[in-house]
């Protein structure tokens, strides 16, 4: 029986398969470039500098997809809906968020199966943040 060497695709997390930290940093950096110029989304980020929000989101995504648990070590449980509750997230905000995320994801150039898996999660997550009817 042939043994599969350690570190092969079967044993890697999604985080490792897509390129690890650098991939998630590129994704989130590009996403926040769009957010910074968006008149609907930018007011939802009260900090003058988007850097802290960018770092939190990067760490969250890295952890979610099998990377380091730094997010939970510093912030505890994600509680995404609770953390977004102070902001009115409606269908327009949902669409704007996904528009910027789509651009960021497309620029990564991931393998089609990885891109589809990540996009499926992102669209689900965006829909679950809606807390205000149109």
pLDDT of residue 88: 76
Bigger pLDDT: 68 vs 129: 68
pLDDT of residue 81: 47
Across 7-11, 28-32, 87-91, least confident range: 7-11
Of 108, 90, 94, 130, residue with least CA distance to 26: 108
DSSP state of 86: T
Model confidence pLDDT, tens digit, residues 77-113: 555 544 555 567 788 999 999 999 999 999 999 999 9
Please state the domain extents for the chain: 17-128
Instruction: Please name the residue ranges forming H helices in 2-76.
Output: 14-17, 21-36, 51-64, 70-75
Superfamily of domain 17-128: Globins (1.10.490.10)
First and final CA of the chain: distance in angstroms? 59
- Cα–Cα dist 55/79, whole Å: 17
pLDDT of residue 77: 56
């Amino acid at each position: 029986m042939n043994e599969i060497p350690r570190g092969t695709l079967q044993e890697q997390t999604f985080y490792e398969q897509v390129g690890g930290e650098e991939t998630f940093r590129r994704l989130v950096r590009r996403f926040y470039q769009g957010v910074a110029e968006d008149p609907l989304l930018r007011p939802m980020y009260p900090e003058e500098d988007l850097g802290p929000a960018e770092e939190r989101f990067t760490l969250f995504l890295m952890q979610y997809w099998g990377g380091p648990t730094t997010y939970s070590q510093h912030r505890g449980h994600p509680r995404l809906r609770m953390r977004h509750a102070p902001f009115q997230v409606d269908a327009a905000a949902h669409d704007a968020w996904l528009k910027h995320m789509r651009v960021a994801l497309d620029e990564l150039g991931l393998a089609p199966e990885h891109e589809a898996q990540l996009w499926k999660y992102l669209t689900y997550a965006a829909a679950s943040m809606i807390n205000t009817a149109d």
